[in-house]
Structure 1
């Protein structure tokens, strides 16, 4: 599940931590109440932790992509050509001093592989897309086709042999 809406929307929030609105927290808790997970895992950033029902295990591997020098900025403050190159190929053109897409996919993939059955993960949009890339084999362009608003619930069925199936998306 993606965390709730941050207090200041429209920013590239990677390692920058920002409070979530009360409505954002309530939306996540309402979604979580519709499922019965055995385990709950959350990113170490407060905007995800605050949206996770208790008790939750904190796992920093579920953290958002590090946007480096762009972290905390609105897209309008970033050179348009550099941002376009990033969205076209985030591995070849990562943000300055930021994380490569493949690094995010590897990090999140390892965290996903460690999840047990019936686990709710409260995380970030980029981490959810990285989980789709790892589990389902989608490339970076394909995962951007998924609309993942705040409090969206993405459901994957993962098997011990490493295969996975996308089973649902609630927005």
Structure 2
């Protein structure tokens, strides 16, 4: 079972000053994800982080973001959006990704219109809750001016994750 609390609301968490840790206190928006989806989504995140166009397209088709019949305009917008989302996880941020110094939301907003006009299929159901959480986490990091070693964290997960295939 791959369970995640998907509500990015700050009131769902409690900061413990003594341990300097953040604790989840509300599981009301917890969602279960199929193992195959988690496997492919993790591969997609790594492809996004590595600016691997072929990997992004392949995983996007496997996950259902793309049909394989998209126009080049849509394909390019989708890949560019994936690369923007992958920026915090890219290798070129020694010391961590500085969420204060980058404008992910503006970059995605600029690409979003093209994707809406040219999309052939809606995103898979699983991603609505997952992307809501991801957007909330990014916005929280921007708000507090976080510098996060996202690449190191991603690689730590990726290298220890047990894929089914």
Structure number with greater Rg is 2
Report the structure, 1 or 2, having the larger helix content: 2
TM-score category (smaller protein):
0.3 to 0.5
Q: Give me the TM-score of the superposition, normalised by structure 2.
A: 0.34
After TM superposition, the score normalised by the length of structure 1 is 0.33
